[in-house]
Amino acid sequence: MSATAAKAMGRRSRLARIDEGIDQREAKLAEAWREIVELAGREKEAAAEALRRDPSKSAYALRSPAHELKRKRLELEKGIGVLEQEIALLRSDRVAADSEQAARELGERTEEARDLVQREREARLAAGKAFAAFVACWNDLAEVLSKRSELLATVAGEQLLERIGIFDRKRSNAGRESRTTS
């Protein structure tokens, strides 16, 4: 295991922390939008109710329910702007962090590739030596078989077995056996 992988297991990567920050802010953003929609509806209802009670007064008078709901909604809208800016900053930081992580991983893979190239060289060298030894053994065997074939051809060509005939059965049988095993 590489040192970087070991560190990554011990603590979360920068990229993971950034992703978590983005996720948290996006959840807050979704909740803020939900609250804004709800507040806008309640604000409209409060303003309509205030105007029904007294059409001569402003529905958004200081500390009126419609005014308080509007204030909360505007605060949330400001908060949304801040969240959107933070998300944009984190996303651009994420691009940089992702690039850094990719560079680290590429460095690790390059080191692995170097190791594999060295192992391949060693394996090819060992295979070459083994093949050379195999070829040498095979050549020795081929030479022995060739000489045996020549010998059998000479014995047959000179008709030595026929010439021995019945006078030396032991050698005659030995010669026949050697022809049948080849």
Amino acid at 170: K
Of 79, 75, 92, whose CA–CA distance to 22 is shortest?
Answer: 92
**Distance from C-alpha of 165 to C-alpha of 144, rounded to nearest angstrom:** 28
- Sorted by where each begins, the domain ranges of the chain are 3-122, 134-181
Distance of CA 63 to the CA centre of its chain: 60
DSSP 158: T
User: pLDDT of 69-117, one tens digit each?
Assistant: 999 999 999 999 999 999 999 999 999 999 999 999 999 999 999 999 9
pLDDT attached to residue 156: 84
Give pLDDT, residue 133.
94
Predicted confidence pLDDT, tens digits, the chain (182 residues): 455 554 545 568 899 999 999 999 999 999 999 999 999 999 999 999 999 999 999 999 999 999 999 999 999 999 999 999 999 999 999 999 999 999 999 999 999 999 999 999 999 999 999 999 999 999 999 999 999 999 988 888 888 777 776 565 666 666 666 666 65
Show the CA angle centred on residue 75, arms to residues 44 and 54, nearest 5°: 30
Contact 66, 51 (CB under 8 A): no
Cα angle value 169/151/172 (rounded, 5°)? 5
Six-digit token string for 104: 């680290």
On the CB side of 129, CA atoms within 13 Å amount to 5
- Kindly state the tokens that stand for 81: 């702007």
